[in-house]
Structure 1
């Protein structure tokens, strides 16, 4: 990671940037959640939610929270309480368009994997949206068609998981729409 790029915990002043990045990434897909719901995900697991900072501003973020295997957050509902689970659900990983193709999503993912391992998690899960299933498959995630991503997710959403540790994404690669 270059000297001017930092992965750090989410701060109160980061939410305007996070909400704007989330909206740009997911509104077109009809999957945007809004500030209250996004904040609730970070609040139940602040140790596994991060901001990517470059040039003194937030240019990416990652939200992950413990969730039972084969389950995932409802996009329409805020988290009321966290789960105790050995599965860590990667809910969002978004990098601003101007910073894509620089390996920053990989840096965020690597940081999450290191954090997850140090916290004792055994598995990562996610819901691939926007055609990103192939991207995540290349990183060791396996699709679970029996776990239907329904309700607030699109009909093409795919629940996926992988045991920890996982293979790192090649530098410069990132899915068009990451996870949801």
Structure 2
């Protein structure tokens, strides 16, 4: 089935759909709904949902963070750092219907543009469930570093330099 959805800003009423998608996609790496809601309240400019005909098929959450730092899994941030050194792609999740539609590439373009607009030159993420292969194909490189809190040895910290416009 071809999908022709669009990314739009996330709103508070999207949280149930975001949580359901996370549960379906991430397995043991799903987080509490309160974590997603906090990210939206702290940095709405980095939160989007992928929607087609009123149905939410995916979501994207990202925010400024400490250079090279990774927030602990399923933990509240409390605040965005006053002087962030990078942009952190917290989560991109797409239901199977949306995969292969270009939604992932479009989401990355949104985050790259946001990082640029905030003057942040790199993007970090933690790849779970084998997603490191996808992120490597999008220009991210694995970084050897201790496992962030709450993640195991199968997860990969990855980063990419924000391409110049």
TM-score for the superposition, normalised by structure 2:
0.89
Kindly indicate whether residue 38 of structure 2 is the aligned counterpart of residue 15 of structure 1.
no
Q: Following TM superposition, where does structure 1 have runs of at least 4 consecutive aligned residues deviating by more than 6 angstroms?
A: none
Given that 2:19 and 2:32 are in contact with CA atoms closer than 8 Å, whether structure 1 keeps it comes out as: yes
Aligned length: 161
Aligned position for 1:41: 39
For residues 74 and 162 of structure 2, what CA distance do their matches in structure 1 show?
Answer: 29
Given that 1:129 and 1:154 are in contact with CA atoms closer than 8 Å, whether structure 2 keeps it comes out as: no
In structure 2, list runs of 5 or more residues that go unmatched.
none
Cα offset, 1:16, TM superposition: 0.8
Per the alignment, do residues 79 and 115 of structure 1 end up closer, same or farther by CA in structure 2, a change over 3 Å counting? same
Aligned position for 2:51: 53
For residues 140 and 151 of structure 1, what CA distance do their matches in structure 2 show?
Answer: 25
Aligned position for 2:108: 109
How do 1:1-180 and structure 2 match up within 5 A? 5-27=5-27, 30-83=28-81, 84-145=83-144, 147-165=145-163
Per the alignment, do residues 120 and 105 of structure 1 end up closer, same or farther by CA in structure 2, a change over 3 Å counting? same
Cα offset, 1:118, TM superposition: 2.0
RMSD: 1.8
For residues 95 and 134 of structure 2, what CA distance do their matches in structure 1 show?
Answer: 18
For residues 74 and 95 of structure 2, what CA distance do their matches in structure 1 show?
Answer: 24
